[in-house]
Amino acid sequence: MRKKLIAGNWKMFKKIGEAQSLIKEIAQGAGDLGGVELLVCPPYTALNAASEARKGTQIKVGAQDLHWEEQGAFTGKISWDMIRDTGAEYVIIGHSEQRTYFHETDDTVNKKTKTALKGGLIPVICVGETLAERDGNRTMDVVSTQTKKAFEGITKEDATKCVIAYEPVWAIGTGRNATPEQAQEVHAGIRALIQSLYDASVAEGMRILYGGSMKPDNAKSLLTQKDIDGGLIGGASLKADSFLAIARAGL
């Protein structure tokens, strides 16, 4: 059985004090949520404070990106080592906002995934099609290419540590989520691809999250799909009550 992972991607929201308060509120309301794993991904500036605030709780902390080099002249960038130093254990890689606005490519996603694994961070690798790609019936092609490339050169042992997030670009921040059936179809396709790249045990163990306008009122119908193993939540993760309601739908 794959334990559901309910992850909040806070994007460019929450200063240090706000991050600490939100984690405290989530922890206070999470008493009945031992059956799911909770992860929050604050901005870099709040990573350390978040890691301190989560101590003694079930909440894990992750970063939203990393550079593939360990150190060097890369103004504005953060390495795996620096992320580990804050106490964070996860890292989101290849988010569509990174792909759209900051020149992320399948190649840099692959490099970052390798670096994260080498550094002992758990990668949450994001894949997903645009509206034009879905309308052109290219969803599975696009998602397969992104996934294959992300895992290029990654051993079976390392692959078992990874999490994938399927985030249709047209569903992010739009209030228009994929239907449970649409999401399930892609998740099953990703799992089959992982099986073909590795084997059935890697595929069965791989957690594949859905992201894109997941809210308390649609979470249950998405999270009860066979191949949906959690959520990567943007807007609704910024308030404890909606994040907790989604997590509860995953029980």
Q: What would the DSSP string read from start to end of 15-67?
A: -HHHHHHHHHHHHHH-TT-TTEEEEEE--GGGHHHHHHHTTTSSEEEEES---
Shortest CB 108 distance to ligand 13P, Å = 17
SS3 label, residue 100 = helix
Q: What minimum distance in Å lies between the beta carbon of 237 and ligand 13P?
A: 7
Rounded CA separation 133/52 (Å)? 42
Nearer to ligand 13P, 108 or 195 (CB): 108
Binding mask 180-219 toward ligand 13P (x if CB under 6 A, else -) reads -------------------------------xxxx-----
Q: Which of 34, 35, 136, 173 binds ligand 13P (CB under 6 A)?
A: 173
| Longest Cα separation, the chain | 48
Q: Which 69-128 positions form the footprint of ligand 13P (CB under 6 A)?
A: 95
**Contact residue for ligand 13P among 234, 242, 246, 247 (CB under 6 A):** 234
Backbone φ and ψ for 142, nearest 5 degrees, come out as -65, -50
Q: Which of 150, 127, 153, 151 minimizes the C-alpha distance to 139?
A: 127
Closest by CA to 162, choosing from 109, 105, 241, 220, is: 109
* CA nearest to 124, candidates 2, 246, 7: 7
Report the C-alpha gap between 236 and 159 in whole angstroms. 29
- Nearer of residues 6 and 202 to ligand 13P, judged by Cβ: 6
Q: Nearest distance from residue 69's CB to ligand 13P, in Å? A: 24
Is 154 an interacting residue with respect to ligand 13P (CB under 6 A)? Answer: no
Q: Using the structure block, give the residue that is written with the tokens 């290419």.
A: 145
Binding mask 18-57 for ligand 13P (x = CB under 6 A): ----------------------------------------
C-beta of 125 vs 193, nearer to ligand 13P:
125
Instruction: Tell me if residue 167 is catalytic.
Output: yes
Spatial separation of the C-alpha atoms in residues 35 and 30, rounded to whole Å? 10
Active-site entry in 95, 97, 104, 133: 95
- Let me know: does 152 contact 193? Beta carbons within 8 Å: no
The catalytic residue among 37, 97, 129, 167 is 167
Tell me if residue 103 is catalytic: no
**Smallest gap from residue 51 Cβ to ligand 13P (A):** 20
Would you name the residues annotated as active-site residues?
95, 167
Binding region for ligand 13P (CB under 6 A): 9, 95, 167, 172-173, 211-214, 232-236
